[in-house]
Amino acid sequence: MRLRVALSLIALAAAAVPAQAKDLPIDLLNAPDGFKIAIYAEDVDGARSLAVSPKGTVFIGTRGADHFYAVEDKDGDHVAETVHTLGSGLNSPNGMVFHDGALYVAEISRILKYNDIENHLDALPEPEVVIDTLPTEEHHGWKYMAMGPDGKLYFNIGAPCNLCNKEEEDERFATISRVNTDGSDFEIVARGVRNSVGITWDPTTGQMWFTDNNRDLMGDDRPACELNHATEQGQHFGFPYCHQGDLPDPEFIADRDCSEFTPPALKLQAHVAPLGLKFYTGTMFPEEYRGAIFVAEHGSWNRSIPIGYRIAVVKPDADGNCTSADTFIDGWLRRLLAWGRPVDILFLEDGSMLVSDDKGGVLYRISYGE
């Protein structure tokens, strides 16, 4: 059974934050019984990818801006009272990874490293350049970045187009790739990936899962967006020849057959724009959510009736089989207009969930049983 978050609860959360956050109609958000939704941080315009340090500092990337953020909840009341705007002159610093006291920031064509960043939030030192030889194309060029179980930095290099075969010119396009934390040993991990903006790993098997945004301009209901499961290195997931595992592209129908490629673990609805995703490994949420994958669906633009704008939950079985993506939180879409767009998901040490919203310029905290 689902419920509308109680107005009294929202009033308590809103009392702790300034007017901008109070103006967001978060009473319209729907969550399952027992869950609470509140504003965790505001004044983070364009909030995108998330990373957290062991001390609890949350770092927030941006797309199309020249800076990123760090927010701190020093008094432990689940509301970040301090927002630091960091960096300048950066090129869509979207990707965020915190590792061994340093923050790794992925721009379009390079990855930077800010050492000992938590002791320099008031005045950042010059970053170390990890790698600066990545493609410079801005179309699907913003990076999602994650630390793999092997200690390497994984990131997308999107296709620089709606539909093209640019990987014949540069094999790095339409891939998920990785480097060591010093920038060495560049490797392609997965091919045929049009635009992934979410990468994670099954904590049990160590295998990689990722979202992919399929091409536009084929109609309202095709091709499906994808939730993908990489079971080995080097798999090809179809772009640009085949979408959703079984739909040949009309412009490349004579070139390759869909049977050559790895199909998605789950077809999502067309144009929902799945971005960040995470497995739930905490203990705050009920047992039914342990091991589930939560996916942020940013929402459609290339569709006559908008869809997406929700947090979906997928529950794979022990073999990685998935049957559905069910709604966990929705309500950002009202009367065909969106007042918020979820981007990334992060779980805090207490098991609660943070969700970034690049339209509302806030982070939400979703908790259970508090």
Hey, CA dihedral for 256, 257, 261, 264, is it positive or negative? Answer: positive
Task: Name the CATH superfamily housing domain 134-340.
Answer: TolB, C-terminal domain (2.120.10.30)
DSSP element (H, E) containing 294: strand 293-297
Q: What is the pTM of this model?
A: 0.93
Q: What is the DSSP letter of 69?
A: E
Using an 8 Å Cβ cutoff, are 160 and 166 in contact? yes
Cα–Cα distances in angstroms (integers) from residue 10 to residues 18, 22, 27, 45, 177, in the given order: 13, 9, 7, 21, 41
Burial tier of 214 (Cβ tally within 10 Å: 0-12, 13-18, 19+): buried
Topology annotation, domain 41-132: Thrombin, subunit H (2.40.10)
Chain centroid to CA 74? 25
Residue 104, beta-bridge partner list: 97, 113
Residues of the chain with CATH 2.120.10.30: 134-340
Contacts of 13 by beta carbon, 8 Å cutoff, 6+ apart: 26, 37, 38, 39, 79
The pLDDT tens digits along the chain (370 residues) read 343 333 333 333 333 343 356 689 999 999 999 999 999 999 999 999 999 999 999 999 999 999 999 999 999 999 999 999 999 999 999 999 999 999 999 999 999 999 999 999 999 989 999 999 999 999 999 999 999 999 999 999 999 999 999 888 899 999 999 999 999 999 999 999 999 999 999 999 999 999 999 999 999 999 999 999 999 999 999 999 999 999 999 999 888 999 999 999 999 999 999 999 999 999 999 999 999 999 999 999 889 999 999 999 999 999 999 999 999 999 999 999 999 999 999 999 999 999 999 999 999 999 999 8
Of the candidates 285, 358, 362, 370, the one whose C-alpha atom is nearest the C-alpha of residue 46 is: 358
Which residue ranges does the chain devote to CATH 2.40.10.500? Answer: 41-132
The predicted pLDDT at position 16 comes to 38
